[in-house]
Amino acid sequence: MSLLEVHDIHTYYGKIHALKGISLTVEKGEIVTLIGGNGAGKTTTLNTISGITPAAEGYIIFEGKDITRAPAHQIVSFGVIQSPEGRKIFTRLTVRENLEMGAFIRKDLAKIARDMEYVFHRFPRLKERINQLGGTLSGGEQQMLAIGRALMASPHLLLLDEPSMGLAPMLVEEIFNVIQYLNGESGTTILLVEQNATKALEIAARGYVLQSGYITHRGTGAELQHDPTIIEAYLGGH
């Protein structure tokens, strides 16, 4: 049984039919990536899994439970944690409070403290700024905080939406290292949405290509990396 099974979901924004039958699976321990152009439905797919924009049709099974109609906060308590597009850190909460919000659903204070230490170990910049308001951080620091905050939830499945967006190349590298590290060392299962398709396919076990609310291609990272139509459309030719 797959960890996450998305079966033929349709999602609407008012009258706009954003997802037109998306099906995908994520196995435990995998990195799976969703790539595609703007407006293809990548973020909507994650928001539908998270319960922010519930599916009108189809179903979503996580760890054997049907979560299609569950409210967003409950889906979090099942262990599906999303780090949303545009970082969305709380600008008026301090760095520490942002991380504490990540662990909102957890009760074990000792483990939470340990995970916070781990986040600070991984991102020492955050420790330097522990009592600063989130809004005063630079873009890169905010992205680290967003990922740190997602880790604080100790996710069974981490949904990452455009974690490298708007970052300098060196930081992009750092973020991808963190993603691989999380997957390799702590075995976190990751569903990754990326506009940087080349890098995403390098680290992903499998990938799906979305276009206008449909999945047009699917395959292993290597297969998609070498598919001529995908190179043409998403990997910048050659």
Partner 1 sequence: MLKSIPIAGRLRFGNDPVQTFLYMAGGALLLFFAFIAVRNTLTGAYGIDDFLQGIVLGLAQGSIYALIALGYTLVYGVLMMINFAHSEVFMGGAYIGFFAINAFHESGFLAENTLVALLITMAIGMLASVILAVLLERIAYRPLRNAPRLVPLITAIGASITLQQIFLRLFGGGTRSYPVVSLCIGGTLQGTTCEGGIDIMQGRYQVEVFGGEIVIRPLYFVIFFIALILMAALWFFVQRTKVGKAMRAVAEDKNTAALMGVNVDRVIVLTFVLGALMAGAAAVLFALYNRQVSPFMGFTPGVKAFTAAVLGGIGNVPGAMAGGVLLGVIESAAPQMLGLPSQLEDVVAFGVLVLILIFRPTGIFGEVLAKKKA
Residues that bind partner 1 (CB under 8 A): 50-52, 71-73, 76-77, 81-82, 84, 88, 90-93, 97, 100-102, 104-105, 135, 149, 153
CA-CA distance, 187 to 193, in Å (whole number)? 18
- Calculate the CA 190 to chain-centre distance: 7
Q: For partner 1, give the closer residue by CB, 20 or 106.
A: 106
**CB closer to partner 1 out of 73 and 226:** 73
Closest CB 123 distance from partner 1, rounded Å: 18
The least CB distance from residue 146 to partner 1, in Å, is: 10
> Within 10 A of 166 (CB to CB), how many other CB atoms are there?
13
Q: Looking at beta carbons only, is 47 or 225 nearer to partner 1?
A: 47
Shortest separation between residue 6's beta carbon and partner 1, angstroms? 18
Cα 81 to Cα 24, 149, 189, 193, distances in angstroms: 18, 10, 11, 14
Question: Under DSSP, is residue 220 helix (H, G, I), strand (E, B) or coil?
Answer: strand
* Structure token pair of residue 232: 């043409």
DSSP-derived letter for residue 38 is: T
CB of 209 to partner 1, least distance (A): 25
Q: State whether residue 28 is helix, strand or coil.
A: coil
Least distance in angstroms from the C-beta of 114 to partner 1:
18
Q: Which is nearer to partner 1, 93 or 222 (CB)?
A: 93
Are the C-beta atoms of residues 45 and 210 closer than 8 Å to each other?
yes
Nearest to partner 1 of 37, 79 (CB atom) = 79
Q: Which amino acid is at 221?
A: G
